[in-house]
Amino acid sequence: MNPAPAKPLNTLADLTPAARQAIETRKISGSWSAKALLKLLGELQRWDLGVEERKKSAHKRVIFSCIAMVVSIFLLLVFISFDLWYIGVALTIGLVVFFVMSLRAKYALKAVDVPDEYRTIIRPLLRQLSQDIDPNEKVRVECDLAGTTESKAKGTKDIGKYSYQSAKLTVYEDPLCHLRLTLLDGTEAVFSIDNTTHKVVGTKRNSRGKTKTKTKWKKVTTLTASLIPPQRLNWDAGKSQQLVDRRSEKITFAEKNGVMVAKLQKYYAFKSAGDEPTGTAPSADAAGLFVRLYAMRPAAGGAK
């Protein structure tokens, strides 16, 4: 992985117009030169690092203000006993306002955050492939920066899981990024990242009748690499099975426009309780998919 830039970007004014538009519209699309796209991703990486720092600070403020707000309620009783209720009320109201503002700041940062995969997978992959990309061809890009949002929910159903009175499952489908580029030998390389996130919210009551809610998350990340050769090739299907881990990978071959396309997919699962998982696939695995696809290509003379 490339070392992180030393200076994160913290305001939209620090960004170039292209990067600012990507943050505001929550997407990157169109045709780009590899150099311009790398520059944009570099800015987004620095922006993401700045947001991550501010998210940590906002989270600490939320925790501090929540604790202080609870303590102020007890102090209010003390102030009332000394007939200084107005001081206690003012303190409590001030801390409540501070808590609400901290909470809003935390959610506001989430709205401008960039999925970590852009700095941990996509930019490193593009840097590795940059020397092999045809400089006369553009990189076609369709990327979504919004992350997991309610608009991507594909429905909610009650799964009645375990000892919970009810457990509701919501599935989110997030096509994170799709890149299509042309290599120096004329081969088209296609790469995509797709996240499918499962959110289970379970509720149950204890013996005293108190309702308890617990949230569990599972994110499945799919990396997909495809090679579309400039002419028809007889792929080595036997070798392909030796280079694929069937527990977490899948390889398929399909004819498209008269040529045989090879597609290799690798799956990752991340779980967490409370908050959405933040894990990402290893950056080296993305380039490794293309390395293995090239290893499956037939030797010279294998084309027909």
Per-residue pLDDT reduced to its tens digit, 121-149: 999 999 999 999 999 999 999 999 998 99
* CA–CA gap between residue 118 and residue 123 (Å, rounded): 6
Q: Distance between CA atoms of 45 and 41, rounded to whole angstroms?
A: 6
Q: How many Cβ atoms sit within 10 Å of the Cβ of residue 6?
A: 7
pLDDT in the model for residue 161: 58
264 vs 226: CA distance, rounded Å? 6
Q: How many residues does the chain have?
A: 304
Which token pair is 75? 């102090």
* The pLDDT of residue 126: 94
pLDDT band at 302 (very low <50, low <70, confident <90, very high): very low
Let me know if 116 is exposed, middle or buried by CB neighbors in 10 A (0-12, 13-18, 19+).
middle
Q: Rounded to an integer, what is the distance from CA 278 to the centroid of its chain?
A: 7
Is 5's pLDDT higher than 70? no
What tokens were used for 45?
């990486």
Distance between CA 47 and CA 201 in Å, rounded? 32
CA distance 53 to 113: 11
pLDDT, position 65 = 86
Residue 239 has pLDDT above 80, yes or no: no
> For residues 123 and 2, is the Cβ–Cβ distance under 8 A?
yes
Nearest to 278 by CA among 143, 63, 110, 43: 110
Binned at pLDDT 50, 70 and 90, residue 162 comes out as: low
Quick one: DSSP state of residue 274? Answer: S
Q: What percent of the chain has pLDDT over 70?
A: 93
| Residue 207 confidence (pLDDT) | 67
How confident is the model at residue 175, as a pLDDT?
94
Q: What is the mean pLDDT of residues 205-233?
A: 86
Mean pLDDT, range 163-183, rounded to an integer: 89
59 has pLDDT over 80? yes
> Which pLDDT score is estimated for 301?
41
Q: What is the pLDDT of residue 4?
A: 47
Which has more pLDDT, 304 or 264?
A: 264
Residues 6+ apart with CB under 8 A from 162: 202
Whether the pLDDT of residue 2 is over 60: the answer is no
CA dihedral (198, 117, 24, 14) positive or negative:
positive
Residue 214 pLDDT class (50, 70, 90 cuts): confident
Q: Which is it for strands 166-182 and 259-273: parallel, antiparallel or unpaired?
A: unpaired
Q: What is the pLDDT of residue 240?
A: 76
Please give the share of the chain, as a percent, with pLDDT higher than 90: 46
Average pLDDT, the chain: 86
Q: Between 76 and 224, whose confidence is greater?
A: 224
- What pLDDT, on the 0 to 100 scale, is given for residue 164? 61
Query: 84, 155 in Cβ contact below 8 A?
Result: no
pTM (2 decimals)?
A: 0.83
| Widest pairwise Cα distance in the chain | 95
pLDDT band at 58 (very low <50, low <70, confident <90, very high): confident
Q: Rg for the chain (alpha carbons), in Å?
A: 25
Q: What's the pLDDT tens digit per position in 65-107?
A: 888 888 888 888 887 877 777 887 888 888 888 888 888 888 8
Structure confidence at residue 89 (pLDDT):
84
